[in-house]
Amino acid sequence: MSAAEEVVAEGHERVEAVPKRAMTLGTTTSLVVLAALLIVPVFAKNFIIFQITMLLIYGLAVLALNILTGGSGQFSLGQSAFYAVGAYTAAVLMEQFNVNYALTLPIAGVICFGFGYLFGKPALRLSGVYLALATFALATAMPQLLKLNFLEHWTGGVQGLVVTKPDAPFGLKVSQDTWLYYFTLAVTVAIYIFSVNLLRSRSGRAFMAIRDNEIAASSMGVNVALYKTLAFGVSAGITGVSGALGAIAVQFVAPDSYTITLAISLFLGMVVGGVGWLPGSFVGAAFIIFVPNIAESISKGLSGAVFGVLLFLVIFLVPHGARQVAIVSQQLLGKLRK
Amino acid sequence: MTQAQLAQGTSPLLAVRDVSVVFGGIVALNGVTFDMHKGQILGLIGPNGAGKTTLFNCLSRLYQPSSGDILMEGVSILSRPPHKIAEIGIGRTFQNVALFPNLSVMDNVRVGTHARTSSDIISDSLKLAWVRRSEASVNKKVHEILDYLDLGDVAHTVVSGLPFGTQKRVELARALAADPKILLLDEPAGGLNHEEVYVLGDLIRRIRDDRHMTVLLVEHHMGLVMSIADHVVALNFGKKLAEGTPAQVQADPDVIKAYLGSKDQ
């Protein structure tokens, strides 16, 4: 017995330095961020409001990828395909079938969940870089699939579809942009909370168990095939909702808006935000929206090169992305308080 | 010993019947048969390559035997996929610790309860009342097991930072969380020092007695097997060499020749 105690004591000394990994922000920080987001439209111009709306929308798409990669350990370079399906679902339903914009979101989510789940089935046989390649193929195929002749009647073919921007309901006297912002914020907060719940639940633990060790996970009773496809489904579903919101915000869908470049941007957003850290998704989204603009303001001709240098700096200085910044600043704050 | 004798009259909890495994042209297991009775600690010994781990992986359904059958409480387990083994009460640990390195000790053990709980992604996302109740009972059980194995102090520590001996206990805790009837331990003494091995021996016996389990112990460490097993099965080159009490097996000339004998040279 005494020896057992010794072993524990020994272990205790050595592990003290390991920080507890959290998936989320603390309650106080979350509330401060939410409050800031709620009052932004009071000060900001419509264009800024639109950009923050897009930040939330891309943030959701990055969050979806984060659940797949950070949660279940599966790579995807095909998120643009799910985003496109979501966007087209919303656009076609609103413009061809006069469905209310708010209703198109859950429909897009369900359709993309099914699409992702089905795609996840054959993808089960692949892992790591091979899975990344298979999803890459999906992303490359999607714009051309959307241009198919027999779909043109609904999708508008190469021309795409123009989407009507919704007005604020109940006669509220706010601009369309402001209303859409609050609508997007509500959807984002809801999905964020659901995602945090999911990752902290039995299902989320099954995802992470698979990510860390598939054989051990299945010995514990985790149906590896089921949870891997579920992760694909959930990720695709959230990406679909984000795509639908994107279509409504941009008021336009066209096949070439959803190329592999979008998929890579989302992947980049995930890495910059910190893989597996959900709040980082929105930091990553801010990076992929604003940094190209910053790069352009530095040099018009060489904006791509400047973006590259900035990206390189981020990866070099904070390889674990925004999560690392958050951990370091938390430690600094802790020291200051002492 | 007495427990094993008491159990002789009843039907075995786990029956390995004429199991053979062939990889390509190599016969890893050749017609192995033995019974495990409730409450037993059965030691499976044999030199390297004797087929111990192969048999172990057949039990946890990672390998499919080429012939023969494995019966748990009289029912064949061979039609079950690996993830449906935990629910019939077979839990295991791994030879080289297979924890979930990025998860905390607590989450590792929580995953152990997976087979004993249910949920779906929608209820989990919405954190419905029944999910919260289920999680509360999971947490209670996990805390009980962590306290039982003296892991309470490291409950929230990420396992990859823990020393090897502690990680092995976490693995044991994870296996216990599934309420197994049979605990399969694959070389639990591997990588432990002399003193830790004896602590482990006590622990295995304590788990068997307190939690009414049956233990299959695959082990290289003869001292450990001989001191805690009720019944020993010795394998060599995929065949069963001898079976009996530790004393009987230790005295068996074939075993001495194959295993203990080779150790002296």
Half-sphere exposure of A55 (CA within 13 A, CB side): 20
CB pairs under 8 A between A and B: 148
Note the pLDDT tens digit of each residue in B217-242: 998 888 889 899 999 999 888 888 88
Contact indicator for A270, A51 with CB cutoff of 8 Å: no
- Cβ of A21 within 8 Å of Cβ of B195? The answer is no
Closest Cα in chain A, distance from residue B128 (Å): 10
Q: Who's near A136: CB < 8 A, 6+ residues apart? A: A77, A78, A260, A263
- Cβ of B82 within 8 Å of Cβ of A219? The answer is yes
So what's the pLDDT on residue B62?
A: 86
Instruction: Quote the pTM value.
Output: 0.87
Note the pLDDT tens digit of each residue in A160-208: 888 888 877 777 777 888 889 999 999 999 999 999 999 999 999 999 9
Banded model confidence at residue A5, pLDDT cuts 50, 70, 90:
very low
Range with top average pLDDT, A13-27, A142-156, B40-54, B201-215: B201-215
For residue A136, pLDDT over 80 is answered with yes
For residue A234, pLDDT over 90 is answered with yes
So what's the pLDDT on residue B259?
A: 65
- Cβ of A220 within 8 Å of Cβ of B111? The answer is yes
Does B104 contact chain A (CB < 8 Å)? yes
Does B115 contact chain A (CB < 8 Å)? yes
Closest Cα in chain B, distance from residue A1 (Å): 7
CB < 8 Å to B92, chain A:
219
| Closest C-alpha to A192, from A79, A34, A21 | A34
Give residue for tokens 């001495």.
Answer: B256
Q: Coil, helix or strand for B22? A: strand
How far, in Å, CA of B187 to CA of B85, rounded?
A: 20
Percent of chain B with pLDDT over 90: 54
Note the pLDDT tens digit of each residue in A253-289: 888 889 898 999 999 999 998 888 888 899 999 999 9
> Which chain B residues in 179-198 lie under 8 Å from chain A, judged by CB atoms?
195-196, 198
Note the pLDDT tens digit of each residue in B105-132: 999 999 999 999 988 998 888 889 898 9
How far, in Å, CA of B3 to CA of B39, rounded?
A: 7
- Cβ of A221 within 8 Å of Cβ of B83? The answer is yes
So what's the pLDDT on residue B9?
A: 55
Report DSSP letters for A44-104, one per residue. Answer: S-HHHHHHHHHHHHHHHHHHHHHIIIIIH----S-HHHHHHHHHHHHHHHHHHH---HHHH
- Cβ of A224 within 8 Å of Cβ of B107? The answer is no
So what's the pLDDT on residue A22?
A: 54
CB < 8 Å to B117, chain A:
202
Closest Cα in chain B, distance from residue A237 (Å): 12
Percent of chain B with pLDDT over 70: 94
How far, in Å, CA of B255 to CA of B238, rounded?
A: 14
What would the mean pLDDT of A132-161 be, rounded to a whole number?
Answer: 84
| Closest C-alpha to B71, from B9, B4, B15, B121 | B15
What would the mean pLDDT of B174-182 be, rounded to a whole number?
Answer: 94
Note the pLDDT tens digit of each residue in B2-25: 454 444 557 889 999 999 999 888
- Among positive and negative, which fits the CA dihedral A60, A64, A69, A74? negative
Does A8 contact chain B (CB < 8 Å)? yes
Contact indicator for B235, B50 with CB cutoff of 8 Å: yes
Buried b (16+ CB within 10 A) or exposed e, B232-264: bbbbbebbbbbbebbeebbebeebbebbbeeee
So what's the pLDDT on residue B261?
A: 57
Note the pLDDT tens digit of each residue in A35-82: 888 888 888 888 889 999 999 999 999 999 999 999 999 989 999 999
Backbone angles phi, psi at B67, to 5 degrees: -150, 170
For residue A155, pLDDT over 80 is answered with no
Q: Which two tokens stand for residue A247?
A: 């279509």
The ipTM of this complex is: 0.88
Q: Which two tokens stand for residue A223?
A: 């149906």
Give residue for tokens 């057949």.
Answer: B58
What would the mean pLDDT of A106-115 be, rounded to a whole number?
Answer: 95
How far, in Å, CA of B188 to CA of B175, rounded?
A: 13
How far, in Å, CA of B188 to CA of B169, rounded?
A: 9
For residue A152, pLDDT over 70 is answered with yes
So what's the pLDDT on residue A11?
A: 34
Note the pLDDT tens digit of each residue in A21-37: 456 677 788 888 888 88
Interface test with B, best of A1, A7, A195 (most B CBs within 10 A): A7
Percent of chain A with pLDDT over 90: 43
For residue A306, pLDDT over 50 is answered with yes
Helical packing angle, B129-148 and A202-212, nearest 10°: 50
Closest chain B residue to A203, measured at CA: B121
- Cβ of B161 within 8 Å of Cβ of A223? The answer is no
Contact indicator for A123, A135 with CB cutoff of 8 Å: yes
- Cβ of A20 within 8 Å of Cβ of B156? The answer is yes
How far, in Å, CA of A177 to CA of A174, rounded?
A: 8
Domain boundaries, chain A: 21-259
> Which chain B residues in 212-241 lie under 8 Å from chain A, judged by CB atoms?
none
Beta strand pairing call for B214-218 and B41-45: parallel
Within 10 angstroms of residue A268's Cβ, the number of other Cβ atoms is 18
| Closest C-alpha to A86, from A257, A316, A309, A245 | A245
Contact indicator for A228, A210 with CB cutoff of 8 Å: yes
B84, B102, B166: residue with CB nearest A11: B166
Contact indicator for A270, A65 with CB cutoff of 8 Å: yes
Q: Who's near A86: CB < 8 A, 6+ residues apart? A: A108, A109, A111, A112, A239, A240, A241, A242, A243, A244, A246, A247
Percent of chain A with pLDDT over 70: 93
Closest chain B residue to A210, measured at CA: B100
